[in-house]
Structure 1
């Protein structure tokens, strides 16, 4: 989401970020968000799925190599465009995508939008906050990001670490070692953390009662709200 004018706040899961245009926000599938916008807000929103972006990509982990998708830190700080040249360039790319989608309902239009999206992501990756840039392309790092993606997709199935390891074609021990090495937490702790994040999402972004939310997180991963928040806040 590129914003060129206006003000407000962007709540992503339980993290609140100030909107200070020009800026760009990124979200991964499964995340919940809420916008508090001024009336003079202007910008573009580009919604796409992995299949669209990866259609002609040989590297199927390419999206995971960007620092802003399935963040290891589990946060989504925006890119604040401090240089006018960066802002104008990215604004032109978003406008090109919007014009292409509106004017071309064909394969060539999709290709133009896909190529332009790649330029947007590559440019934003270079501009992303330096303290958020870690080595993104190591095998261990990509494995952990794939694990986080699967946890997001299959959370309500209450899968075990063995199930996730099988999906990733690694041993449970190797998965746990890589998660510990990259994130400083065990695989089981990540699943527990995911439960807390999901509870917070539902509390903040839905009208469900605590009892209804508890029913969604069935045994064996049901946690009490008090103990979960003490462990992960």
Structure 2
């Protein structure tokens, strides 16, 4: 499993490829305490808390540390799994910049998921490639670059949700 993990001074962010082979690891106890973002192509089936989701198209899911997550079935294509802790990126602190707390995370009314448009699929594919390259560089600015990519992902997803909700 190709794992790219940043770990420094209690700050953690990781990026994994998701396929059937990783479902046990993702469903296991190792990632429970993290904030999670899943980007899953069509054909995935997952359970979050008491609801089941089947992806018909590439979809982003935003999962808080206290939520139950079970990846029941993987699709043909691999997806991405980002996990990070509040020390790496605290949405409450950065929320003024990103405005995603209560919308993407800690949304009690519904499970925040964003079905990606064609334009977003291209953007997200590029973003994940950039993140992986950044991990491979192992440069001193890795933490800040990866945080910037994470912030872009959160802003784009927030915009998509707001557009879907408010037109």
TM-score (normalised: structure 1): 0.48
SS of residue in 1 equivalent to 2:158: helix
Gaps of 5+ in 2: 1-37
Report the equivalent of 1:9. 45
Alpha-carbon displacement from aligned partner over 1:120-140 (angstroms, at most 9, x marks no partner): 00000001165657xxxxxxx
Alpha-carbon separation, structure 2, partners of 1:118 and 1:38? 26
Counterparts of 1:1-233 in structure 2, within 5 Å, are: 1-4=38-41, 6-38=42-74, 40-54=76-90, 60=93, 62=95, 65-66=99-100, 67-73=103-109, 75-81=110-116, 83-104=117-138, 106-128=139-161, 130=163
CA contact (8 A) 1:8 1:18 kept: yes
Report the structure number with the largest CA radius of gyration.
1
Alpha-carbon separation, structure 1, partners of 2:59 and 2:104? 14
Alpha-carbon separation, structure 2, partners of 1:88 and 1:68? 21
Structure 1 residue 38 displacement after superposition? 3.6
Structure 1 residue 98 displacement after superposition? 2.3
CA contact (8 A) 1:101 1:110 kept: no
More strand by share: 2
Deviation beyond 6 Å, 4+ runs, structure 1:
none
Alpha-carbon separation, structure 2, partners of 1:93 and 1:120? 8
CA contact (8 A) 1:17 1:77 kept: no
CA contact (8 A) 1:79 1:129 kept: no
Alpha-carbon separation, structure 1, partners of 2:149 and 2:44? 28
TM-score (normalised: structure 2): 0.65
Alpha-carbon displacement from aligned partner over 1:120-179 (angstroms, at most 9, x marks no partner): 00000001165657xxxxxxxxxxxxxxxxxxxxxxxxxxxxxxxxxxxxxxxxxxxxxx
Report the equivalent of 1:201. none
Using CA pairs under 8 Å that are at least 6 residues apart, name the structure with larger relative contact order, 1 or 2.
2
Structure 1 residue 39 displacement after superposition? 5.1
More helix by share: 1
Q: Number of residues paired by the alignment?
A: 126
Alpha-carbon separation, structure 2, partners of 1:21 and 1:52? 29
SS of residue in 1 equivalent to 2:47: strand
